Chains A and B, each alone.
Chain A
């Protein structure tokens, strides 16, 4: 079916089609519409989900952990300060290897108080052991939400699906949805995983100096290997939807001298800019990491070999030499630059993309810089 729909509604629609066992959540801008709409599906009897409207994000995630440990298919959503409040139990969900899907409408973390998009919220959970997938548009968010359910149940690693706050959460786009029958068939019956109701298992054990590092190594190894499951499930999805997703997306990489790397919705502006410049014979290309954890280092290193790369960062690592994405990519390519842009939702559209790309094609640039700072704001 074709639908004009925003990212939030696309997520709750996908979840309505799947009818998960449990949803435990707390509303927060910019993902509130997900919880709102999903709760309406529950009230209207469109799903039979146990919908727990928790008193905080910490409780919401704790309920998800309990439900998953009891064998339930679980879904939740959060953003920004909510994710920060949840962080303790986010680590626990991953440490206990509990399948669940969480959608994040990316919004920076205060202070100062803010509402708009950057990745400081989900990057906070970067090292928690979750699979992290960043989407560029509403279609990808819809598709990835469905795939996430399958990925998490196959890998026993919780999956976080990201979309840009307001750009994608509230931006309406025409997308193709699956029929509910297709969606249900694709996601499939929930596999059984060892749970507290069916067998006498102790979750949340103490694991001290005698065993902790082994348990962690296994967790690290499984997350690194999960890209195989992700690729397999994406292939399966492509078969009938004809929509194909990789660990990253790129344009013009093969013969490009200069490659711009960016995540989320701003990739669209960068890609359009590169396409235009290609027509003028400029050998530019662009790349968008989609699966950020596990990060496909080897593939990216090979793709970017010998190229000049400019990595755009919509987050800051205070006190570090580069931004969080910059830190991933430093050492790749022949020449490396890192640009912090779009913090707090500072707009980055076609105009800005053209300006930025133009600057790097024209002349010398600093290794690290903030892009688009206002000159009229004393600070």
Chain B
């Protein structure tokens, strides 16, 4: 939770949208770099594999990785070894 949140409901529950303020990008030690955008279009399901919902598709087409939230876990790169590469930051 972040200091910017001024109200929490019972049991520290918050609206799912409020968790957007908790940006996990600063946790990152490695950054996923997409090598092949065309290949990404064939693997829309990768959006669901990302625990931070940081891989953005628009209208079924790959758009970008939101680095404000990508925490560098490497799940995407492990799944699409030939398409995404993890680089040290």
Contacts and interface: CB of A to CB of B under 8 A. Distances in A.
For chain B, the bracket of interface size reads 10 to 19
Interface string A197-218: 0011111011110110011001
Contacts of A206: 1
Contact of B16 (A202, A211, A219): A202
Interface in B4-23: 5, 8-19
Contacts of A222: 10
B12 A207 contact: yes
A97 B11 CA distance: 5
A219 B1 CA distance: 17
Q: Which of B2, B8, B11 has the most CB of A within 10 A?
A: B11
Contacts of A211: 1, 5, 8, 12
Nearest to B2: A210
A378 to B, nearest CB: 51
Contacts of A214: 8
A215 B8 contact: yes
B88 interface: no
B17 A205 contact: no
Given A200-B17, A201-B15, A202-B16, A210 B10 contact: no
Q: Which of A96, A97, A205 has the most CB of B within 10 A?
A: A205
Nearest to A214: B8
A156 interface: yes
Contacts of B14: 201-202, 205
A95 interface: yes
Q: Which of B1, B2, B17, B19 has the most CB of A within 10 A?
A: B1
Interface of A: 95-98, 156, 194, 199-203, 205-208, 210-211, 214-215, 218-219, 222
Interface of B: 1-3, 5, 8-19
Given A203-B13, A205-B19, A214-B8, 11 more contacts: A97-B13, A98-B11, A156-B10, A194-B13, A201-B13, A202-B15, A203-B11, A205-B12, A210-B3, A218-B10, A222-B10
26 contacts: A96-B11, A97-B10, A97-B11, A97-B13, A98-B11, A194-B9, A199-B15, A200-B17, A201-B13, A201-B14, A201-B15, A201-B16, A202-B14, A202-B15, A202-B16, A202-B19, A203-B11, A205-B8, A205-B19, A207-B8, A207-B12, A210-B2, A214-B8, A215-B8, A218-B10, A222-B10
